[in-house]
Amino acid sequence: MSRARPVLRWADAAAALVIAAGVLVLALPHVLSAWQLTADSIEYLGIAHSFSSGAGFVDPVVYSYYLPPQFPMPAAAMRPPLVPLLLAIPIGLGATIETTALLHVVWAALVAIGVFLVARRWASPPSALAAAIGIGWAFGWIAMARLLLTEVTSVALVLALVACAPRGRASARGAAAFAALAFVAWLSRPNLAVAVPAVLGFNGLLRV
């Protein structure tokens, strides 16, 4: 038994490398060849630049037609605040848009590894690897890896909620930590609020 554990760890590490390598190979050429910016990405970057440059947490790019015009618009009135705050870190440190996009692809590769690690808790290594490859190498995931949007970070937070749910049910301290994590997920995408009962329900089924 003592010899099996290192082998299993090496197998998990190799699986993680395969998953990440696939995401990088599929996404990086697109990011390196052209700017992958949509209207939403430009707005997130604009908020991040305003915040990191000291202009305040405001939205300099307003695409909304249902709010009265106000410039600068409070960013939280337009977009979920978490991703712009995260983007403000590399931008504030001097990263260009291209470098920030590259970092986002690396982040997407790490989140794809997270799919494997979370699935590994309930499934066999081959099944967990298949799940991570099925998600991480899918066209939709690669598209989101190339774009500076909320989807990749939102999936990371859902995975964190799934991983932390057992502790959230085990103690008051764990429940408080789970609630704080759920709030952070809500700051990423408000519709992730519906993920909380889904995750807790899933965890409850596993305990039956």
Q: In this predicted model, what pLDDT tens digit does every residue of 27-72 receive, in sequence order? A: 999 999 887 788 889 999 999 999 999 988 988 886 655 556 666 7
For position 70, what pLDDT does the model report?
64
Mean pLDDT of 12-26: 95
Q: Which residue has the higher pLDDT, 206 or 38?
A: 38
Return the SS3 of 59: strand
pLDDT category of residue 1 using cuts at 50, 70 and 90: very low
Q: How far apart are CA 41 and CA 3, in angstroms?
A: 48
Taking the CB of residue 113, how many other CB atoms lie within 10 A of it? 20
Q: Are 151 and 109 in contact (CB under 8 A)?
A: no
Torsion from C-alpha of 98, 101, 105, 108, nearest 10 degrees: 170
Express each pLDDT in 155-199 by its tens digit: 999 999 988 888 877 788 888 888 888 899 999 998 887 777 767
Mean pLDDT of the chain: 86
For position 63, what pLDDT does the model report?
63
CA atoms within 13 A on the CB side of 162: 19
- Residue 59 pairs with which residues in a beta bridge? 73
For position 192, what pLDDT does the model report?
84
Q: How far apart are CA 173 and CA 73, in angstroms?
A: 38
Taking the CB of residue 86, how many other CB atoms lie within 10 A of it? 20
Q: Which residue has the higher pLDDT, 44 or 122?
A: 44
Global confidence as pTM:
0.86
Q: Are 105 and 31 in contact (CB under 8 A)?
A: yes
| Torsions phi, psi for 149 (to 5 deg) | -125, -170
**Residue 73: enclosing H or E segment and its boundaries?**
strand 73-74
